[in-house]
A and B are shown apart, each in its own frame.
Chain A
């Protein structure tokens, strides 16, 4: 699948107004979305890679070649996305509580968050670096998503050769206009953890108001995305970008949607 994107930066004071405008444009109420995003980095497990493929009379040449290509291909960062709700966040007072204490309280407490890490659904999102040298004025990149097992995701991800890097929260609203998914969102960072072990996703969520926006001014990002099943179908890609341009034209007086800097969306792991 391919993804075609346009981005715009929305200052905080314009956020409310833009929400209204988008609601009018798409004739729907915004769908609020809160997502935990875990960043994983692929690494090569030592000893697994066998670059030598024996002699030339190898029978399984084609298979081995493909396997080798897969094993020695580029390494990428991937994201694991888990939807949460506001009710999942911790109570406002429990900022100082340790993880184990939290677990105790949540078993007995009444107003505690019902967040259960073991039931957290996950989705793997792979995004390639945007295609270079396209003349079109949209960001195009290869993408794939897959659902993952619930619960502690670090273990299976580790087993697949990914190591946990960091995590953050995305908060925003989704609109759908025909084939375009409009996501007006911003990135929130977790408070600086004092006792958090840095290797692994959090088991508990802090209070919502403790999250701080990555962008200090609190501005949002407007992302208009359209996915195309077959990226090699030029016709479809053209139609999709036409749709995006149509949206850009419609939103012209409100925001300026434009292509993103390719290298800023680089997901390759070096």
Chain B
């Protein structure tokens, strides 16, 4: 059997050999419209126009009816009336049916075989009025009908039958086409569901609506409210295409936006919209839904975390988190719709921090994924025994590591530039001094551990406190310094601390403060140690030459008077006592000398002698050549006024 076997459903209308009907029609036209002679083009046109005008009229008439203003009370009346009519009709139909039943029952009650049944279906009234079996039916021979009447009946019944056949055929064909489209759309639907499944999405029955299919795109380890949102129904549109039905959740695509503000001005913004390859395909929509639920969870968790970070200056608004990073920089995070997330150009001062913003945006997402993994780990471990206390779900570490990193970088950078400046100043004064910095020396690439995936160990490194070290040698041999910068925002004590250790053999009593929290304090402490070191160097230099020859050669030797204030003095046998004051800041190194009268430090210049205070300063940026500090010291060490 071939597939194309077709069965005609419509009745075949056999064409009868008919006599030519044209003469009949001409006769009919003649009778209806009169002679052909009166038919002109105009009259025909007029007729056509009239027909055309008529049709809309008739339609309008009908269309006008429902639009006619009906008063509400009138409408109620109408409604009641119609309802009464309907009930009346129904009653009537019921009555008639009852009569028919009674009639048939009475008729059947005559026959013994059916009497019992007939009695049951008889109405009580009929039973009272008419005795059983009192109606009989007989077949009577109808009078023979005329040939014409028979022909009529035959034609009519044939017409009826054809009509019915036609109607049945139409119904069948219509349902066939309906079925066909249904099958087509159903096939399309299932194909798309399969395509979704083949892409690796989890397709399952919805827990509440057992008839519907759903696709799971959410994250199993997310907070319950977001986990439950990761399931959407796959509904079928009328044409069979797949609809992602997320229920009451708005369809908007939202994402977390990161902005960087420097001194109150926006200087960076993370990329908000990613163009999906085909956003309108079902896959694209699932991806969008997944991204949105991830972003919303991310923001939710960040707000939760930001609340416990209030002590560190983090503030939250309804839809905004502000994280201060350094004194002039802050990071703003908010949840925006993708299509309106791009900030207007006017509010952006520059794009110089776009990279930072993007990096922050990526980091918080990575950290959330890490938190999910930790959740999985925790969930699959044997649980602790049940206690009345509920297990507290700790806030995820999303903002804290980011904030720690940014703060740490800011601190390290500023210290580095401070050190660079100081070294520049000292170099211009001809002093050799250097330092090495090891930013993020605490971050080590982890050893591969079999039980923990590599990614997790990698991320874990960034959840530890950060530490950077600066080490350097000072001018005097064997003296050195070391600064450790530690930032920890995860566990108290939070914030950045500087730990300075110095090794000054000439000032063994000098101990740096144990915990320095402020950048300026750390810088000041370092500058102070440098100053001490310079003072030691100067006094050492004088001491190098043998004491006895000093006076003879007319060279004074300097000794530290108040080392912590940078003051030295040189005593001369010839009365040319001098005092030297050294000051060091990140901009310049200044050395001043004053003559002193006698050994009295507080004494000032002599009256008769020309007091020539000498002054020299070195800056790192000046290009003019100056004598180095040692040359200057040598020069002022001459035993003359």
Contact = CB atoms under 8 A, between A and B. Distances in A.
A233 interface: yes
Interface centre among B376, B384, B385 (most CB of A within 10 A): B385
B143 interface: no
A27 B376 CA distance: 9
Nearest to B383: A179
Interface centre among B220, B381, B388 (most CB of A within 10 A): B388
A235 B380 contact: no
A229 interface: yes
A227 interface: yes
Interface residues of A, number: 20
A149 B601 CA distance: 74
B220 A181 contact: no
A145 B379 CA distance: 21
Interface string B345-367: 00000000000000000000000
A229 B382 contact: no
Interface in B363-417: 376, 379-388
A230 B383 CA distance: 15
A228 interface: yes
A239 interface: yes
A179 B380 contact: no
Specify the main secondary structure of chain B where it touches its partner: loop
B382 A226 contact: no
B206 to A, nearest CB: 16
Interface centre among B381, B384, B385, B386 (most CB of A within 10 A): B386
A180 B385 CA distance: 10
Nearest to B387: A229
B380 A28 contact: yes
A176 B387 contact: no
Given A27-B220, A28-B376, A178 B383 contact: yes
Contacts of A226: 386
Contacts of A176: 379-383
A179 B220 contact: no
A236 B387 contact: yes
Contacts of B381: 176
A159 to B, nearest CB: 29
A262 interface: no
Nearest to A2: B385
A28 B379 contact: yes
Contacts of A1: 385
A29 B380 CA distance: 9
Contacts of A229: 384-387
Contact of A174 (B376, B382, B384, B386): B382
A1 B386 CA distance: 9
Contacts, number: 37
A228 B385 contact: yes
Interface in A4-43: 27-29, 31
A176 B385 CA distance: 13
Contacts of B386: 179, 226-229, 236, 239-240
Interface in A162-202: 174, 176, 178-179, 181
Contacts of A27: 220
A235 B388 contact: yes
A113 B299 CA distance: 50
Contacts of A181: 382-383
Contacts of B220: 27
Nearest to A4: B386
B387 A230 contact: yes
Contacts of A28: 376, 379-380
Interface string A63-85: 00000000000000000000000
Contacts of B385: 1, 227-229
Interface string A103-145: 0000000000000000000000000000000000000000000
Contact of A31 (B376, B380, B383, B387): B380
Interface in A205-245: 226-230, 233, 235-236, 239-240
B388 A236 contact: yes
A181 B383 CA distance: 8
Contacts of A233: 388
A229 B386 CA distance: 6
Nearest to B389: A229
A21 to B, nearest CB: 14
A229 B220 CA distance: 28
Nearest to A1: B385
Contacts of A31: 380
22 contacts: A1-B385, A27-B220, A29-B380, A174-B382, A176-B379, A176-B383, A178-B383, A179-B386, A181-B382, A181-B383, A226-B386, A227-B386, A228-B386, A228-B387, A229-B385, A229-B386, A229-B387, A230-B388, A233-B388, A236-B386, A236-B388, A239-B386
Closest 9 pairs between A and B when the two form their complex, measured CB to CB = A227-B385, A229-B385, A229-B387, A228-B386, A28-B380, A179-B383, A27-B220, A181-B382, A176-B380
